Structure 1
Amino acid sequence: MIKFFCVLLFGLTISASASINKEQLNKLNVGALLVKDMTSNQMLYAREAFKELKPASLTKVMTALIAIEQGDLNRPVTITYEMIQVEPTIAGYKPGDVIRLRDLVTAAMVKSDNDAAKSIAIAVGGTEKRFVEMMNAKAKALGMKHTHFVNPCGFDNKEHYSTPSDLLKMTEYAIKNKYFNEISKKNQHTYFSLNNNKKFYAYTHNRLLSRYEYAVGVKTGYTSKAGACLIARAKKNGRDCLIVMMDSKEDRWKTAKQIFEQVFVSKSSKNG
């Protein structure tokens, strides 16, 4: 019994040891922010967790997830005129280009190419409308009660919204998938069309991946109305932390790095 009590007490100490400067975070000019210690399953900080906000390209986590789970990532997708009727950022596909689905998924996640995301939607769903229905069905299945998607790219629309809490649920589910993790941490991706050997490049917008050695993904997002958004994950010394940031007026990369280091330093210093 004494041994059990000591183990329990030690376990509580470890859980409580993850701490961050909440006063400092309260001063940040961000619309919403969540910080979760994935190792202890402990929410360390929450601001406006249930506020419905525009998710911008964080939407593409769901787009990629549905494509990955449907299974046939090696299938060729013939690009149509409809697939490329999107706003930048784009890969620059032309009608008739044949691209592997896995390359479309990677381009949508790494460079956030909107023509890649829309091509995924039409290829997997048959129509964009049907794919959006699949997105909303998946959101419902994951318990994302305050989320509604109307497009696969993250374009601003009053009916296209989510909450930090819901995006956290989505991400926690997505990172259980090995392939999703592999593509979400890529700095770049080079690929070719299958029919004419045209070369495409995808370079990440996620500067955290090059500025913070412990970063392992996940997705960036930005529109003028949504503001700067970020879902970021880092691992250090066996610890795992996840951040959801929406409508940020701060430097996303600097802020995320500072938060991660607070979590990891507090862990290592208090656990000896």
Structure 2
Amino acid sequence: MRAASVCFGAPFFTANSSVSILKLRHSILGLLLACSSVMSSPVSTAAAKAPAQQVLASGSALLVDLKTNEILYSSNPDVVVPIASVTKLMTAMVALDAKLPLDQRLSVTIRDAREMQGVYSRVRIGSEISRREMLLLTLMSSENRAAASLAHHYPGGYSAFIQAMNAKAKALGMTHTRYVEPTGLSEQNVSSANDLVKLLKASQAYPLIEQFSTTSEKTVAFHKPNYTLGFRNTNALVRKPDWSIQLTKTGFTNAAGHCLVMRTVMDKRPVAFVVLDAFGKYTHMADANRLKKWMETGKVTPVAPAALAYKQQKMAQRQLAGQPGDAATVIGTR
């Protein structure tokens, strides 16, 4: 009878068990190698997968894919702020909704617009141009006297025009929007980035607004007295070959900061773009370039410290006024 081999402090071995242990060793070795490979891979961490987020200088921003309604970029989209001359998009819509003769000559007047008192313009009071040209100057060069004149020559007059602006906003579901005059000079003309995306979507039904708002420059002949003036688009991006812009409107007052809305293309997607309350004369356009570059390449462009300081100051003021902001969020894929 053969005695069993026993070794205290060590496992018990047989011929079959030694084979099993060898297999187990090979399995463990393979598992360790696999884990090592996964841990060393750059795609194994969330940080490697997550794209860098672009910070903008503007206080509010929203970028929406017009085909899918996907939100591509969002920052404080529901904060209610003055919108300056972005107002004039609604002014043009209401004027066109009335279906009045576009070639009818209208006299330039600011009689009903108290916000216009003392505001400089090259356009002479009492001179005449067509309603079509009034619309062009309202949209392309943000001419305040043209916008006020469109409201004055509306059926029912100036007050009826303002009522129609607010009725249109309500019909479009722009629940945070209010208009008190047609130019945007009043800081009581307020909206949000979310509401303005709704307006941009509705603007797709207005080809004349698309045409006039993206016209680069135009010389207009006035009558009574006869004189001509040259005008340029307030959005310099319409003259840039790397931009395809279907519709645009800029705005600025001290209360509103610099504002820009567009229907354009980014990363081969048709998008609605809104930035509100930016610091600096060209910051709103710089934000558009930042977002376009980020969408198309994933590369982040820095923002000037002065612009960020202005943004933080305005956010603090809004919070004190009971309008808490939110951090920039990125949803969807580039």
User: What range is the shorter-chain TM-score in?
Assistant: 0.7 to 0.9
Q: Any conservation in 2 of the 1:91–1:107 contact (CA below 8 Å)?
A: no
Sort the Cα spacing of 1:104 and 1:91 in 2 relative to 1 into closer, same or farther, 3 A.
farther
Answer yes or no: is 1:205 the counterpart of 2:242: no
Please say which of residues 58-67 and 203-212 is displaced more in the overlay: 203-212
| Partner residue in 1 for 2:21 | none
Identity among equivalent positions (%) equals 27
Sort the Cα spacing of 1:237 and 1:49 in 2 relative to 1 into closer, same or farther, 3 A.
closer
Answer yes or no: is 1:235 the counterpart of 2:235: no
Q: Take 2:110 and 2:173, find their aligned partners in 1: how far apart are those partners?
A: 35
| Partner residue in 2 for 1:256 | 288
Greater Cα radius of gyration, structure 1 or 2 = 2
Answer yes or no: is 1:66 the counterpart of 2:89: no
Q: Residues 11-46 of structure 1: CA distance to partner in whole angstroms, max 9, x if unpaired?
A: xxxxxxxxx966322xx3321000112233211111
Q: Take 2:110 and 2:263, find their aligned partners in 1: how far apart are those partners?
A: 36
| Partner residue in 2 for 1:164 | 193
Shift of 1:84: 7.9
| Partner residue in 2 for 1:76 | 105
Shift of 1:196: 4.3
Matches within 5 A, 1:1-272: 23-25=53-55, 28-71=56-99, 72-80=101-109, 82=111, 86=116, 88=119, 90-95=121-126, 97-157=127-187, 159-211=188-240, 213-216=242-245, 217-235=247-265, 239-249=269-279, 251-265=283-297
Counterpart amino acid of 1:67? A
User: What 5-or-longer segments of structure 2 have no aligned partner?
Assistant: 1-49, 299-332
Q: Residues 86-107 of structure 1: CA distance to partner in whole angstroms, max 9, x if unpaired?
A: 2546341222x22100101110
Q: Residues 160-200 of structure 1: CA distance to partner in whole angstroms, max 9, x if unpaired?
A: 21111111101110133211111111111222224544213
Q: Take 2:196 and 2:60, find their aligned partners in 1: how far apart are those partners?
A: 12
Shift of 1:205: 1.3
Shift of 1:79: 2.7
Q: Secondary structure at the match of 1:24?
A: coil
Q: Take 1:121 and 1:21, find their aligned partners in 2: how far apart are those partners?
A: 47
Q: Any conservation in 2 of the 1:57–1:153 contact (CA below 8 Å)?
A: yes
Q: Take 2:51 and 2:111, find their aligned partners in 1: how far apart are those partners?
A: 48
Counterpart amino acid of 1:199? T
Q: Any conservation in 2 of the 1:60–1:117 contact (CA below 8 Å)?
A: yes
User: What 5-or-longer segments of structure 1 have no aligned partner?
Assistant: 1-19
Q: Take 1:162 and 1:22, find their aligned partners in 2: how far apart are those partners?
A: 29
TM-score by length of 2: 0.67
Q: Take 1:55 and 1:81, find their aligned partners in 2: how far apart are those partners?
A: 21
| Partner residue in 2 for 1:11 | none
Q: Take 1:156 and 1:263, find their aligned partners in 2: how far apart are those partners?
A: 34
Counterpart amino acid of 2:290? Q
TM-score by length of 1: 0.81
Q: Take 1:145 and 1:21, find their aligned partners in 2: how far apart are those partners?
A: 33
Q: Any conservation in 1 of the 2:200–2:262 contact (CA below 8 Å)?
A: no
Q: Take 1:69 and 1:38, find their aligned partners in 2: how far apart are those partners?
A: 23
Q: Residues 203-245 of structure 1: CA distance to partner in whole angstroms, max 9, x if unpaired?
A: 1111111235323131000001110100023236853122100
Q: Residues 112-142 of structure 1: CA distance to partner in whole angstroms, max 9, x if unpaired?
A: 0100000000012442222111100110111
Please say which of residues 204-213 and 222-231 is displaced more in the overlay: 204-213
Please say which of residues 225-234 and 125-134 is displaced more in the overlay: 125-134
Q: Take 1:136 and 1:81, find their aligned partners in 2: how far apart are those partners?
A: 20
Q: Take 2:266 and 2:255, find their aligned partners in 1: how far apart are those partners?
A: 34
Q: Take 1:51 and 1:136, find their aligned partners in 2: how far apart are those partners?
A: 19
Aligned residues: 244
Shift of 1:258: 2.5
Aligned-residue CA RMSD (Å): 2.4
Q: Any conservation in 2 of the 1:35–1:243 contact (CA below 8 Å)?
A: yes
Q: Take 1:195 and 1:144, find their aligned partners in 2: how far apart are those partners?
A: 40
Sort the Cα spacing of 1:262 and 1:223 in 2 relative to 1 into closer, same or farther, 3 A.
same
Q: Take 1:233 and 1:93, find their aligned partners in 2: how far apart are those partners?
A: 32
Runs of 4+ in 1 over 6 A off after TM superposition: none
